[in-house]
Amino acid sequence: MYVLIDIGNTRVKMGLLDTDSHSRLPLTLACPHTDLSPIATWLTQHLSSPATGAIGVNVASEALAAQVQALLHAHHVPSIQWQTGDTPCQTLLNQYQQPERLGSDRWVSAIGLQPHAPHSAFLHVSFGTATTVDAIVPHAGGHEFKGGLILPGPQLMQLALSQNTARLDAIPGALQDFPDHTTAAISSGIAAAQAGAVMRQWLITLEAAGHAPLLFCSGGGRSLVEAELEQTLHRLHHVTTLSLPEPVWYDTPTLDGLAILANRLA
């Protein structure tokens, strides 16, 4: 059994890989940085036999990673093998100018999503604390990671407005085509900015790949942007002959990528 660890900007996610069947178990834990206590309970419940390894990514602090490692050690889990943006992958070429500076979660998520697009370009959009919009295109023997956008995530945009303006609140409002009150104007503006970034990169990736890329999405900001993204694509259907994608949502692409890497280590 391998323990899979994804330390994000606000939450820690964990999963398990059965090294006998080479498949991820349908068990996922997510807890905030401020309360890691569920980890011990989860490990006690689901580690029926001692873990043979642990693999993870960390985009938060080293101190938090040390706390997670200590909790795992208490359950006799081996030291975590931390992955980085330049972790080698035979089927994915990293085109980042400085591969080691690429966020490990972005890199490992792309590895996790590759099996869903064996011969196609795809975008991975993660609506988290930050929103990332990454382009992955076919390359000899697999894919290449071209690069992508980073922008404040939906909740961070909302928080920035509430903290840096005198009269704009962080209360979510309805999405409207022509917002006629402030809360709707904020929510609609944030959702439009997020969807606009996605469509920009989708069109650029279409030009680079020569075919319509698939669109894979993930992240905790889903509820704030999903409707706007789908409406934008629906409207474009009426004004273009392009083969527009249907967004496909995945809960844990980073853990899926870690499972693939763990299978190569086990």
Domain containing residue 222: 119-251
Q: Is residue 209 part of a domain?
A: yes
pLDDT of 177 reads 81
How many degrees, rounded to 5, is the angle at CA 227 between CA 222 and CA 228?
Answer: 100
CATH number at residue 46: 3.30.420.40
Domain boundary residue among 37, 53, 82?
Answer: 82
Q: What is the pLDDT of residue 264?
A: 86
CB distance 14 to 56 below 8 Å: no
Q: Indicate the pTM of the whole model.
A: 0.93
Same domain, 128 and 76: no
Residues 150, 47 share a domain: no
Among the candidates 62, 82, 102, a domain finishes at 82
Q: Are 193 and 78 found together in one domain? A: no
- Alpha helix (H) ranges present in 92-145? 104-113
Please give the pLDDT value at position 82: 97
The answer on 125 and 69 residing in a single domain is no
Per residue of the chain (266 residues), give pLDDT as tens: 999 999 999 999 999 999 889 999 988 999 999 999 999 999 999 987 889 999 999 999 999 999 999 999 999 999 999 999 999 999 999 999 999 999 999 999 999 999 999 999 999 999 999 999 999 999 988 999 999 999 999 999 988 888 888 777 667 778 888 888 888 888 889 999 999 999 999 999 999 999 999 999 999 988 889 999 999 888 888 888 788 889 999 999 999 999 999 998 76
Question: Does residue 193 sit within a domain?
Answer: yes
- Same domain flag for 146 and 54: no
Of 61, 82, 103, the residue that ends a domain is 82
Residue 74 and residue 123 in one domain: no
Count of domains in the chain?
2
Q: Which residue has the tokens 């080691």?
A: 100
Predicted pLDDT of residue 176: 84
Note whether residue 108 is domain-resident. Answer: no
**Measured between alpha carbons, how far is 198 from 19 in angstroms, rounded to an integer?**
36
Is there a single domain that holds both residue 123 and residue 246?
yes
Does 128 share its domain with 243? Answer: yes
Residue 186 lies in a domain: yes
Let me know if residue 104 belongs to a domain: no
On whether both 124 and 56 belong to a single domain, the answer is: no
Residue 113 forms part of a structural domain: no
124 and 247 housed in the same domain = yes
Residue 224 covered by a domain: yes
SS3 breakdown of the chain: % helix, strand, coil, rounded to 5?
40, 25, 35
Judge whether 86 and 94 are in contact, CB under 8 Å.
yes
Residue 266 is predicted with a pLDDT of: 65
Catalytic residue numbers, as ranges: 105
Same domain, 50 and 170: no
- Are 126 and 235 found together in one domain? yes
Q: Is residue 41 part of a domain?
A: yes
The strand pair at 142-152 and 23-24 is best described as unpaired
